[in-house]
Amino acid sequence: MVIWDLDETFWRGTLSENGAEIISSNVDIVKELTRRGIMNSISSKNDFESAKRVLEEAGVWDFFIFPSINWGPKGESVKKLIEACQLRSPNVLFIDDNFSNRKEVEYYNPGINSLSEKEIPDILLMPELKGKDDKSLSRLKQYKILEEKAKIKESYSDNHTFLMESDIRIRFIKDTKEYRDRVYELINRTNQLNFTKLRLSEDELDVLLNDPEVESTCIHVEDKFGDYGICGFYALEKRKRKLLHFLFSCRILNLGIEAYVFHKLCRPYIDVVGPVAGTLDMKTPIDWITEDHSRFNSRVDIENGNKLRLLMLGGCDLEQMCHYIDCNKFEIIKEFNYPNKQGVEVHREHTAYLREMENLTAVDKDELFKLPFGDDKMLNTKLFSDDYDVLVYSALMNYTHELYENKRTGMKIAYGGYMNQDELCDYLNMSTSEKNAFKDNYSFLGLQKPEEFLDDINWIYQRIKRPIIIINGTETENVCQQEPNAAQRHKQMNKVLDNLIEENGDHIKLLDVRKFVHDRRDQKDTIRHYQRPIYVKMAEELMCLLTDKKVKVSIFVRYKQLYKELGIKGVIRSFFNL
């Protein structure tokens, strides 16, 4: 972490006297360091709100964690800042134009690195600040979670109550090869909660992870504040019951996870190499941690003869996939769009509906059901039930439908498809009175913003606590001339979805149709509907994702079904397409 002074360091001038002039190159340095996984903080003698306002205007405030902006001495405040970030002084660089401040900070924080403002232009070249690629800013997001927790924790009178209400959940992941790079990083970079401190080369790690006599396991951690990812690793020699490696990221310091895991393993032998910031003693029961088993473990279930229950939620075109999914291994629950009594298609898969389903008032429901594209069955869903194992969700309606907001209740609804409010009313053949009533009651919001879509998906995962497989959209040119901007919209939404999957790949996976839909010939009537062979490939890809290995679909079953639907010419065409 780099801790910045502000006056005459990060910016020119003294804010409290003659104002501040932002140094743009310093803003660029902070953002580049963050992209390298290196955090930035502030230690400045200033008025907090005034300094925050200047940094917000420069677009850099959100890149700082645990900013310490007050009129107190810096030595103690920097010490508290480092402790709050759960870091060690030798892993911190302090930058200040004042020599006395640097010496004070060095005195209170032995081992800390310090520089003057004159040395700032060269810091990106320092080998200690090389970092690693983190363009998704995942580390910044995790520290923001830690910052939020610290603020909330201050309102609790005792730590145990805070931990109990934090809803801390851990998962033991046996398939460590998928997380090899993260394990390598933990082994060679963690210190505070590394009980064994045995460093390994990449080749040595590969040997360890492939050793049948060693139980290698990753520890995934999350709580109500957010997902911390893979935060721990152990390697247990089975015969001797000896821990070869036992280590955790400092981001879970003071949560008791190391002691919980150690006792979960029945206290095997461990040669502790100190010093270590945590303890393995469990003087009181750790009752604030629970184990979360909701992960992609379908391969084990299938091999044990258990059918995996899939909730397929999306457009009716996805039903074509269902024909090619092995019914001996998967049980499918279908929730697709359907026509109401007036013959209008009812869509309930947009996340705007899913987020509001459980909280709608009787008045909301009555208004929703009276809409031309609604009915009293549209809120019937198994999404929030325990009747399935994995959610398979098509995001295409979030890509396509416009949002409307009830002016009186704030309820959001979604319908349309690249059309404004008047065009939607005409599309639905509304009478003049119906059209006027709709426009009086609902404000047109347009297509959902990508960041709102991501927030909805994260909310759904937190609510259902089950793995999700999301089906995205193709980026090929649209065959439908009435939707000229569809491909661009798909690219925009796919991009944020790709970032989401990159950060949450352990519990949210992507069925990427871009692998299969390459041009307009693969589409039918719109950018959202594909030729039949595409759905065969999508079904096979889905089974691969669910079982973490290539699942061979029976050639006989596949072409028998195609013969029924397409005839012999369709089978021949599909054979060459596949």
Q: Does the pLDDT at position 367 exceed 60? A: yes
What's the alpha-carbon Rg for the chain, to the nearest Å? 28
Q: Does the pLDDT at position 552 exceed 80? A: no
CA angle 118, 120, 121 (to 5 degrees): 100
Name the percent of the chain lying above pLDDT 70. 92
Tens digit of each residue's pLDDT (9 = 90 or more) over 101-138: 999 999 999 999 999 999 999 999 999 999 988 888 98
Tens digit of each residue's pLDDT (9 = 90 or more) over 158-192: 888 889 888 899 999 988 988 999 999 999 989 88
Grouping H, G, I as helix, E, B as strand and the rest as coil, residue 109 is coil
Could you tell me if residue 436 is left (phi over 0), alpha (psi between -120 and 50 degrees) or otherwise beta? alpha
> Which pair of structure tokens corresponds to residue 498?
């790709």
Q: Does the pLDDT at position 555 exceed 70? A: no
Ordered by where they begin, the domains of the chain are: 2-139 (3.40.50.1000), 164-291 (3.40.630), 298-550 (3.40.50.1110)
Query: At 426, is the pLDDT very low, low, confident or very high (cuts 50, 70, 90)?
Result: very high
What pLDDT is recorded for position 297?
A: 52
Query: At 319, is the pLDDT very low, low, confident or very high (cuts 50, 70, 90)?
Result: confident
Residues 164 and 224: beta-carbon distance below 8 Å? no
Q: Does the pLDDT at position 573 exceed 80? A: no
Exposure string (b/e) for 226-241, b if CB count within 10 Å is 16 or more?
Answer: bbbbbbbbbbbeeeee
* Residue from 187, 227, 229 nearest 204 by CA: 187
> Which pair of structure tokens corresponds to residue 382?
């198994």
Residues 407 and 444: beta-carbon distance below 8 Å? no
> Which pair of structure tokens corresponds to residue 29?
């340095």
What pLDDT is recorded for position 557?
A: 45
Residues 578 and 533: beta-carbon distance below 8 Å? yes
Q: Does the pLDDT at position 325 exceed 60? A: yes
What pLDDT is recorded for position 575?
A: 55
* Residue from 483, 313, 494 nearest 387 by CA: 313
> Which pair of structure tokens corresponds to residue 386?
């325990």
Strands (DSSP E) found in 396-467: 402-406, 412-415, 442-447
**What is the distance between the alpha carbons of residues 423 and 416, in angstroms, rounded to a whole number?**
9
Paired sense of beta strands 442-447 and 412-415, if any: unpaired
> Which pair of structure tokens corresponds to residue 113?
């690195």
Grouping H, G, I as helix, E, B as strand and the rest as coil, residue 273 is coil
Query: At 219, is the pLDDT very low, low, confident or very high (cuts 50, 70, 90)?
Result: very high
Residues 467 and 509: beta-carbon distance below 8 Å? yes
What pLDDT is recorded for position 548?
A: 58
Could you tell me if residue 147 is left (phi over 0), alpha (psi between -120 and 50 degrees) or otherwise beta? alpha
DSSP annotation of 269 reads B
What pLDDT is recorded for position 553?
A: 37
> Which pair of structure tokens corresponds to residue 444?
């047109």
Q: Among positive and negative, which fits the CA dihedral 336, 341, 344, 348?
A: negative
Query: At 569, is the pLDDT very low, low, confident or very high (cuts 50, 70, 90)?
Result: low
What pLDDT is recorded for position 185?
A: 92
Q: Does the pLDDT at position 577 exceed 70? A: no
> Which pair of structure tokens corresponds to residue 121?
């232009």
Beta bridge partners of 7: 11
Lowest-pLDDT choice from 92-101, 142-151, 321-330: 321-330
Q: Does the pLDDT at position 443 exceed 90? A: yes
> Which pair of structure tokens corresponds to residue 490?
């798909």
**Which residue has better confidence, 325 or 203?**
203
Look-up: residue for tokens 């609510």?
463
Q: How many CB atoms lie within 10 A of CB 141?
A: 13
What pLDDT is recorded for position 21?
A: 94
User: Residue 484: CA atoms inside 13 Å, Cβ hemisphere, count?
Assistant: 0
Paired sense of beta strands 168-173 and 193-194, if any: unpaired
Mean pLDDT of the chain, nearest integer: 88
Q: Does the pLDDT at position 576 exceed 70? A: no
Task: Give the Å distances, CA to CA, from 566 to 228, 318, 533, 558, 560.
Answer: 49, 18, 11, 12, 10
DSSP annotation of 155 reads T
Q: Does the pLDDT at position 40 exceed 70? A: yes
Query: At 228, is the pLDDT very low, low, confident or very high (cuts 50, 70, 90)?
Result: confident
- Which of 76-80, 358-362, 480-484 shows the highest mean pLDDT? 76-80
Residues 190 and 133: beta-carbon distance below 8 Å? no
Lowest-pLDDT choice from 28-42, 386-400, 510-524, 553-567: 553-567
Asked whether the whole model's pTM tops 0.95, one would answer: no
Strands (DSSP E) found in 453-529: 468-471, 508-511
**What is the distance between the alpha carbons of residues 349 and 480, in angstroms, rounded to a whole number?**
22
Look-up: residue for tokens 């054979």?
575
| Burial zone of 310 (CB within 10 Å; 0-12 exposed, 13-18 middle, 19+ buried) | buried
Tens digit of each residue's pLDDT (9 = 90 or more) over 444-493: 999 999 999 999 998 898 888 889 999 999 999 999 988 888 999 999 99
Q: Among positive and negative, which fits the CA dihedral 159, 160, 161, 162?
A: positive
Q: Does the pLDDT at position 282 exceed 90? A: no
What pLDDT is recorded for position 562?
A: 55
